[in-house]
Amino acid sequence: MSRPVFFAQVSDFHIRPPGVIFADVVDTLAMLRAAVDTLVGFSPQLDAVLVSGDLTNDGEAEAYAQIAPELARLPMPVYVVPGNHDHRERITALAGVAEVGQGNAHRQFTAELGSLHLIALDSLVEGEGHGALCAERLAWLETELERAAGRRILIMIHHPPAATGIDFMDRIGLRSSPALDALIRRHAGSIERIVCGHVHRPIFYRWQGVPVSVTPGVAHQVVLGLDGREPGFNLEPPGFHLHRWTETEGLVTHHVHLGSYPGPYYFSGNPDRKPAT
Average pLDDT over residues 19-34: 96
Residue 201 lies in a domain: yes
Q: What is the predicted pLDDT for the residue at 2? A: 77
Residue 150 lies in a domain: yes
Q: What is the pLDDT of residues 68-103, one digit of tens each?
A: 999 999 999 999 999 999 999 999 999 999 999 987
Q: What is the pLDDT of residues 91-146, one digit of tens each?
A: 999 999 999 998 778 999 999 999 999 999 999 999 999 999 999 999 999 999 99
Residue 128 lies in a domain: yes
Residue 239 lies in a domain: yes
Residue 270 lies in a domain: no
Residue 275 lies in a domain: no
Q: What is the pLDDT of residues 209-223, one digit of tens each?
A: 999 999 999 999 999
Q: What is the pLDDT of residues 178-212, one digit of tens each?
A: 999 999 999 999 999 999 999 999 999 999 999 99
Residue 166 lies in a domain: yes
Q: How many domains does the chain have?
A: 1
User: How much is the pTM?
Assistant: 0.94
Distance (Å) of CA 210 to CA 8, 93, 129, 187: 20, 33, 24, 9
Residue 168 lies in a domain: yes
The 3 state secondary structure assigned to 174-198 is EECCHHHHHHHHHCCCCEEEEEECC
| Domain span at 206 | 5-261
Find the CATH number of the domain harbouring 161: 3.60.21.10
